Amino acid sequence: MSTLINLFPNPSADPAGDMSVFRSWPGNNGNVSAVSSVATSWGARKRVAQATWTTINDAFTGDFGLNLEVPRPGRYTLRYSIQWATSQTPGFVSTWSGAGNSAGVTRVAHSPLPGPIPAWQVIDRWITIDVTAQGVTNRPVILEVFPGKTAAARAVQIADVLFYEGDFDPALTYFDGDSDPGPGEAVGWVGAPGRSASFRVTPEIDLNPMPDDQPCPRVELVARDLPPSTTAVTIWRTAAGRTKEVRGAIRTNASDAISLVDFEAPFGVPLTYRVEPFTATGDSLGLIGLAETQLDVDETWVHNPLNPFGSVVVSFRGSAVGAISRPVDGQVEHALGSRVGRVVSSGRRGVVGVSLDVMTETLADADKVAALLGDEGNELPPVLCFRIGARDRVRLPQPFYAAVLDIVESSFDYTEGTGEKIAHHMSGTEAAPPVPGLFIPLLTYAHLNAYYASYAALNADNPTYLAVNTRYDLVR
């Protein structure tokens, strides 16, 4: 997991706008003018702007710097590349007492000061500062110092400005909202492109496989450090060669973090989860972050996707899944006079008409099987989710969603009075589950209200919304 915000807006050239790059102070007999964007041989470096300046007195220096806006007092590091039109011996100014400049800024560390730099030679510079007061204009400014008198204007160009919270880290390289993301990363602008901070984020995804029966085996997921421009999130799961949206996390409102429970995670196979954030305009930031786990369970569980609280343990009977058919939907047509026919088809179907005969051990479990297709006052779609445990050696997709239109119950040993085993005969055809945007939440306000006497008690026990949303212990 990593989160980096480049606070510098990196405009191409904006001499009159709010994000003007350069500053100078006539009191030091220096003058900066003609801020512009020009074509230079920077290679892959991203130019910010060019400026020209003059100094008119040997006793003074030509000072100028970058406008840097900080969100809060603290430690910050500035990195940039710079080149001059004439040979220079630059220096640093660590503080400046002028109102709105770098008041309250203390230099902590910096790159070695170079000797004379030949004209147009690019060097990389960095400086770490502590900001204790933000100044009148909320723009502390780090200054470059150019000593010496000159009658002719001299040009300077700056590129690859990276301004971030924290100490200097040589591994951090320049980026902005237009940079290409690395594996699992999201890169973008916090606000308007080229006029706002930019981010580079790899979310942290915590996975907790839970093989217990509260109410059934599941994977609890928390994704943190989402991109700053996130307003909604979709979670994707890849298992057994299939990538699916996770129920309950389809463009769900989210900003910094999201939590959910995956009741349809298959058993005994590697599970990979990724996050797809969306901006307020509906733009996808791509699949980012990556976390893997495995949910190992011995028993086979079946439930209706819209009622995970009705999950039940079953075991396949010997007559179940005796044959698996995946036919091609098509036919052979013979043209007049043709010796061989031509196939007209629309592709292969999923599993068709497979026997799903199961056994339950208790009457309570038998009642749950009878309720899988709904009952009075609880209408449910006739699509069931089978998750195959390690004890049942059957070759069905994981998980297996089956359209089941009838469940026929028969006694195994119950009528003889020797036990509570019930046999359930059903036949299923592979079908799409209910749209994953439909779900039943595990944790509800009813659970919170039953546990906490007041909102004050809830807030005292849970400092954030994320902490409240992950109190699954109140359900168990």
pLDDT for residue 44: 61
CATH class of 203-294: mainly beta
Of residues 252 and 21, which shows the higher confidence score? 252
What mean pLDDT comes out for the span 379-389? 95
**What's the token pair of residue 65?**
């710097």
CA dist., res. 36 & res. 85, Å (int) = 15
Cβ contact 439:247 at 8 Å: yes
Question: Contact at 8 Å (CB) between 360 and 424?
Answer: yes
**pLDDT confidence of residue 32:** 45
Alpha carbons within 13 angstroms on the beta-carbon side of residue 386 total 29
Contact 267, 296 (CB under 8 A): yes
**What is the predicted pLDDT for the residue at 413?**
84
pLDDT at 15 over 80: no
pLDDT digits (tens, 9 = 90+) for 29-39: 444 444 444 44
| Buried b / exposed e along 202-236 (16+ C-beta atoms within 10 A) | bbbbebebbeeeebbbbbbbbbbbbbbbbebbbbe
pLDDT of res. 16:
41
For the stretch 95-140, pLDDT in tens is: 443 334 456 777 888 888 777 778 878 888 888 888 876 543 444 4
Q: Give 205-238 pLDDT, tens digit per residue.
A: 999 999 999 899 999 999 998 998 899 999 999 9
pLDDT > 90 in the chain, percent: 39
List Cα–Cα distances, 170 to 66, 68, 111, 449, 465, in angstroms.
21, 21, 11, 50, 36
**The residue to which tokens 């989160």 are assigned:** 3
| Number of Cβ within a 10 Å radius of residue 96 | 21
Cα–Cα distance, 351 to 395 (Å, whole number): 11
Q: What pLDDT was estimated at residue 340? A: 93
- CA 164 – CA 170 distance, rounded (Å): 13
Whether 270 shows a pLDDT value over 80: the answer reads yes
Q: Which CATH architecture has domain 2-176?
A: Sandwich (2.60)
pLDDT of residue 392 exceeding 90: yes
Nearest-angstrom CA–CA distance, 161 and 173: 10
Tell me the pLDDT band of 155, cut-offs 50, 70 and 90. Answer: low
Instruction: Write down the pLDDT at residue 184.
Output: 86
Lowest mean pLDDT among 141-150, 231-240, 377-386, 456-465: 141-150
- Most confidently modeled of 7-16, 67-76, 321-330, 446-455? 321-330
Q: pLDDT tens across 47-78, in order? A: 555 555 554 444 444 455 566 677 788 898 88
